[in-house]
Amino acid sequence: MNPAKVFGQGELNQHVDPAELLEDIDLDADEISQRKDFIGFDEEDERRLADLEPLLRDSQNEIADRFYDNLTEYDGTLEIMSRSPKGIEALKQTQRAYLVSLATGNYDEEYFRQRARIGKLHELLDMPMKHYVGQYGVYYDLIFSEVDERVQQQTVSAIEQWVDEEMDEGGFQSRVVDRFRGLTGDDGDDDGLDPSLEQAVREAIHDGMADVLALLRIINLDMQVAADTYFESYSNDLDRAIERRERLAREVEKDVQKPIKDMNETSASVARSAQTINDLASSQAQDMDTIADEVESLSANVEEIAATADTVGEMSDEAESLAENGAEQADAALEELAAVQEVTAELTETVERLEQRTDAIDDVIDRVSGLAERTRVLGTNASVEAGRGENTQGTLKVIAEEVQSFADQAQSDLDAIETEVEGIKEVTTDTIETVDETTNRLERSVDRVDEAVTDFDAIHDAVAEVSTGIDDVADASADQATSAEAIHRTVEQSAQKAERVSTETQSVAAATEEQTARLSEIATNVGKLTELENVERRPVYEQ
């Protein structure tokens, strides 16, 4: 099997340009030479690797099988292998070719170009570096177990060769054993292995370790190149990320300039509003102190008004009681006066009756006076007639009849006068009784009125005290009104300041919202700097 015909045949190889890859990782002939010198890889190592080719060819199938048996035991590596377009058998074939190529290469640019291809293919499969490097640990175990067997065989062969040489010198078996044990002297001391035997063993082991070192050095060079492909990919990703960050930084710097400027202006506005709010708050605090003082004064006035109101209430109750008593006395006096009015009406009626009786007596007296006049005239006529002497009897008869008539009339009038006098006596008696009753009622009315006047005087005094209390209440109310007015003014001022605070607060809120918007805008722009590059890149193993 020629490894060169195996490498580069997979589908993923179309995504890899080995020549460009070496250029990307700065790997040329000089760099290869320097790396070889650094780890001590030389022509002797190349010779030893060439000597190991038969061993590697003979072990390639077993090593490839055991290598992939180990990888398929782990989900992580199994998932990675599933991404490869090659099946397990094809992967084993590639592994066998790689193993043999360790001993058949010229270790020039072409050799390391293939190594770079291998590393890049693993990177394209998104195999983590830990798995790629870690699989060499498995490789060491598999290869060096074979090399170990070779070293042991070389050592045994060296011992056998030494024994053969000793036998060829005509020695006997016992002598060989003694030489093997280092017992060559007569004293029988055990000085260890025979120097020539020890030298043969050491040379055999050294030769085997030199083979191991040759394998380690070439594998180390392979790992360096593979790691370079990983680092080159990481570097490209980093360069793209840095370029994107720089581009985003420029864009963000451009995008945040205006928001930052606006935010600075808004911050200045907020600072001014905050200072205004602070000044208003301090002023409001002073207003609250003023209100507290006025409220304290108002409270004192309220207490004074309450105390005075209690006194006024008591005096009002007393005045009310006195007023009720005075009203009762006045009602009683009115009742007495009403009774006096009734009695007076009766007295008036009695006097009218008495006047009527008096008028009747006057009429009788007038009639009696008329009779007396007529009697005087009649007497005069009788005297005249008596002087004449003739027909005296007839005349006297007539006079006598007249006198009799006058006498009857006078008697009748006297009887009428007596009747009227009796009536007057009765009316007078009624009048006296009525006057007495009126006098009594008037006396009672006077007493009632005196009592009412006394109550009214007391009411006057109580009302005066109430008036004084009301004046005190009025004064306290005036003070209260003054305090209330002061509180009102202060509250109005506080309200105006509160409105200003509200306005400033709204301004601050609006500015804060604007700041928040600007900060969000800035955060969005700055967030671009922290976002991972999210470039949709389809993995090559899916293409």
Count of residues in the chain = 543
φ and ψ at 26, to 5 degrees? 55, 45
| Boundary (domain end) residue, out of 213, 244, 275 | 244
| Residues above pLDDT 90, as percent of the chain | 9
Q: What angle, 0 to 180 degrees and rounded to 10, lies between the N-to-C axes of helices 29-39 and 109-124?
A: 90
| Boundary (domain end) residue, out of 244, 277, 305 | 244
Q: What is the pLDDT of residue 172?
A: 47
Q: What is the pLDDT of residue 43?
A: 94
What would the pLDDT profile of 362-412 be if each residue is shown by its tens digit? 887 888 788 778 777 877 877 777 777 666 677 767 777 887 887 788 788
What would the pLDDT profile of 505-527 be if each residue is shown by its tens digit? 788 778 778 778 877 777 777 77
Q: What is the pLDDT of residue 107?
A: 92
What would the pLDDT profile of 21-64 be if each residue is shown by its tens digit? 888 888 899 999 999 999 999 999 999 999 999 999 998 999 98
Q: Are residues 238 and 346 in the same domain?
A: no
Q: Are 256 and 521 in contact (CB under 8 A)?
A: yes
Q: Are residues 226 and 295 in the same domain?
A: no
Q: What is the C-alpha to C-alpha distance for residues 477 and 479, in angstroms, rounded to an integer?
A: 5
Q: What is the pLDDT of residue 540?
A: 57
Q: Are residues 228 and 270 in the same domain?
A: no
Q: What is the C-alpha to C-alpha distance for residues 47 and 539, in angstroms, rounded to an integer?
A: 41
Inside any domain, residue 435:
yes
Inside any domain, residue 259:
no
- Cβ neighbours of residue 448 closer than 8 Å, sequence gap 6 or more: 329, 330, 332, 333, 336
The two structure tokens encoding residue 313? 């209430």
- Burial grade of 422 (CB within 10 A; 0-12, 13-18, 19 or more): exposed
Q: Are residues 156 and 278 in the same domain?
A: no
Q: Are residues 235 and 281 in the same domain?
A: no
| Boundary (domain end) residue, out of 214, 244, 274 | 244
Q: Which residues of 482-503 are buried (b: 16+ CB within 10 A; e: fewer)?
A: ebbebbeebeeebeebeebbee
Q: What is the pLDDT of residue 212?
A: 92
Q: Are residues 482 and 428 in the same domain?
A: yes
Q: Are residues 93 and 196 in the same domain?
A: yes
Q: What angle, 0 to 180 degrees and rounded to 10, lies between the N-to-C axes of helices 195-388 and 129-168?
A: 160
Inside any domain, residue 161:
yes
pLDDT bucket at 531, cuts 50 / 70 / 90? low
Amino acid at 60: Q
What would the pLDDT profile of 435-462 be if each residue is shown by its tens digit? 788 788 778 877 876 887 687 687 678 7
Inside any domain, residue 271:
yes
Inside any domain, residue 540:
no
Inside any domain, residue 536:
no
What would the pLDDT profile of 119-144 be if each residue is shown by its tens digit? 888 887 878 888 878 888 888 888 88
Residue span of the structural domain in which 73 resides: 3-244
Amino acid at 418: E
What would the pLDDT profile of 59-104 be if each residue is shown by its tens digit? 899 998 998 888 888 888 888 888 887 888 888 888 898 899 999 9
Q: How many domains does the chain have?
A: 2
Inside any domain, residue 252:
no
Q: Are residues 489 and 433 in the same domain?
A: yes
Which position has the higher pLDDT, 445 or 422?
422
Q: Are residues 189 and 42 in the same domain?
A: yes
Q: How much is the mean pLDDT over the chain?
A: 79
| CATH code (residue 102) | 1.10.490.10
Q: Are residues 216 and 270 in the same domain?
A: no
Quick one: which of 174, 225, 293 has its CA closest to 28? 225
Q: Are residues 227 and 297 in the same domain?
A: no
Inside any domain, residue 315:
yes
| CATH code (residue 506) | 1.10.287
Q: Are residues 124 and 201 in the same domain?
A: yes
